[in-house]
């Protein structure tokens, strides 16, 4: 793919590209936004170096691609910026060092997420993204046929941040906030992408159980499918610099923020773009089991 408006530099073989020659702080034309969106759908995650965005500019950029959600269904936003989730690791945020897709415990998970780097450790703190469409294509036909039929319950009732016996008080406090309202949603294990029509595995750290299977059976199947997603050939690793912006298609990826930087500061801020109801191979849509996503997507509350 090429664009007359900017240069595209693939970062890895199956996922990820850097967009060069775009200043996100400017009023970008509709044509540029359209090309960025096409690049996002093709490469799944796109990166912009050396950007001069503040929180308002980050929200304004995200809004060009759809409705911006509140920062999170349960976690408070950055003061004065209801759309911004402030992730100041070591101070106010628990590290998300587990493979996950953002906010899949609601019935309308985000279309995408825009992450901006404010403080980055001198070493460590990279993020890895995985292409769940390529993973589905890698499955043997009999596993694809099985996955096509499966539906899974996603919930925030267990947090991707920590699963330990001796939980520190600050982590416990965060978990209490994170699960202050419990959400559960039934999603297809294979999701049809609403723009590209591609099929991809739609699982990750918020999956609790596959419908109709025991916990043991469910865990085994999810572990098998997840192994295809996180194969090295389906991933891209980004070494952050201050000012970087990453924009990923939440409908076709998982990601993992690597917690390998000890007590060094790492400060990023995230904005999410409202998504639609996922649809499975059989044409059926996701169903909310518990919780109301209108608290997360403002237009639903108005409707």
Say which residue the tokens 């297809």 belong to. Answer: 188
Q: Which one is catalytic: 187, 193, 255, 266?
A: 255
User: Is 95 part of any domain?
Assistant: yes
Pairing of strands 207-210, 151-155: antiparallel
Position 2 scores a pLDDT of: 73
With respect to residue 2, please indicate whether it lies within any of the assigned structural domains: no
Band of pLDDT at residue 231, cut at 50, 70 and 90: very high
Active site residue 270: yes
pTM: 0.93
pLDDT in tens, 50-108: 999 999 999 999 999 999 999 999 888 999 999 999 999 866 556 667 999 999 999 99
Residue 171 lies in a domain: yes
User: Does residue 49 have an active-site annotation?
Assistant: no
222 within domain boundaries: yes
Residue 29 lies in a domain: yes
Residue that has been written with the tokens 């050939």 in this structure: 233
In a domain, 37, yes or no: yes
CATH code of residue 53:
3.60.130.10
Q: What stretches of the chain adopt beta strand conformation (E)?
A: 7-10, 17-20, 45-48, 85-89, 112-119, 127-131, 151-155, 184-188, 190-192, 199-201, 207-210, 235-238, 245-249, 253-257, 266-273, 287-290
Among 35, 102, 107, 244, the one annotated catalytic:
102
Q: What is the pLDDT of residue 159?
A: 44
Residue 161's pLDDT band, with cuts at 50, 70 and 90, is: very low
Print the domain residue range for 164.
7-302
- Distance, in Å, from the CA atom of 120 to the CA atom of 123, rounded to the nearest integer, reads 8
Active-site entry in 37, 72, 100, 154: 100
Strand 245-249 relative to strand 45-48: parallel, antiparallel, unpaired?
antiparallel
For 265-303, the pLDDT digits (tens) are: 999 999 999 999 999 999 999 999 999 988 899 998 765
pLDDT for residue 227: 98
Number of domain units in the chain: 1
Q: Which of 175-189, 230-244, 250-264 has the lowest mean pLDDT?
A: 175-189
CB of 83 closer than 8 Å to CB of 209: no
> With the CA atoms of 65, 152, 225 and 228 taken in that order, what torsion angle do they form, in degrees rounded to the nearest 10?
10
Q: What is residue 179's predicted lDDT score, i.e. its pLDDT?
A: 65
CB 247 within 8 A of CB 112: yes
Residue 1 lies in a domain: no
Which of these, 294, 133, 270, 109, lies nearest to 198 by C-alpha position? 133
> For position 96, what pLDDT does the model report?
67
Q: Between residues 163 and 95, which one has the greater pLDDT?
A: 95
∠ CA 65-80-74, rounded to 5°: 75
Q: Mean pLDDT for the chain?
A: 92
Q: Given pLDDT bands bounded at 50, 70 and 90, which one contains residue 164?
A: very low
Active-site residue, selected from the candidate residues 116, 193, 266, 270: 270
Known catalytic residue at 148: no
Decide if pLDDT at 160 tops 70: no
* 177-210 per-position pLDDT tens digit: 666 689 999 999 999 999 999 999 999 999 999 9
281 DSSP 8-state letter: T
What are the distances in angstroms from CA 107 to CA 132, 186, 200, 216? Answer: 19, 8, 17, 25
100 is a catalytic site residue? yes
Residue 276's nearest CA partner among 163, 192, 171 is: 192
* 263 falls within a domain: yes
Which residues, 6+ apart, have CB-to-CB distance to 123 below 8 Å? 261
């Amino acid at each position: 793919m090429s664009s007359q408006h900017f240069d595209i530099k693939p970062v890895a073989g199956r996922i990820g590209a850097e967009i060069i020659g775009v200043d996100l702080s400017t009023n970008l034309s509709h044509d540029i936004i359209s090309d960025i969106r096409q690049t996002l759908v093709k490469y799944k995650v796109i990166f912009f170096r050396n950007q001069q965005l503040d929180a308002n500019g980050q929200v304004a950029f995200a809004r060009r691609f759809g409705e911006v959600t509140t920062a999170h269904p349960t976690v408070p936003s950055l003061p004065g910026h209801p759309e911004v989730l402030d992730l100041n690791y070591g101070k106010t945020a628990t590290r998300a060092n587990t493979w996950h897709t953002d906010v899949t415990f609601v019935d309308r998970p985000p279309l995408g997420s825009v992450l901006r780097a404010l403080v980055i450790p001198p070493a460590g703190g990279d993020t890895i993204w995985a292409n769940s469409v390529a993973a589905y294509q890698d499955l043997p036909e009999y596993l694809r046929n099985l996955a096509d039929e499966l539906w899974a319950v996603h919930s925030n009732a267990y947090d991707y941040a920590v699963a330990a016996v001796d939980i520190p008080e600050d982590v416990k406090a965060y978990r209490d906030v994170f699960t202050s309202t419990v959400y559960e949603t039934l999603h297809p294990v294979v999701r049809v992408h609403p723009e590209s029509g591609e099929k991809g595995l739609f699982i990750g750290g918020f999956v609790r159980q596959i419908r109709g299977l025991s916990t043991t059976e469910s865990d085994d199947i999810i572990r098998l499918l997840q192994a295809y997603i996180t194969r090295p050939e389906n991933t891209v690793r980004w070494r952050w610099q201050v000012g970087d912006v990453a924009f990923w298609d939440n409908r076709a990826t998982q990601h993992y923020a690597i917690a390998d930087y000890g007590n060094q500061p790492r400060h990023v801020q995230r904005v999410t773009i409202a998504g639609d109801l996922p649809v499975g191979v059989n044409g059926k849509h996701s169903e909310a089991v518990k919780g109301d996503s209108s608290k997360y997507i403002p237009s639903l509350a108005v409707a």
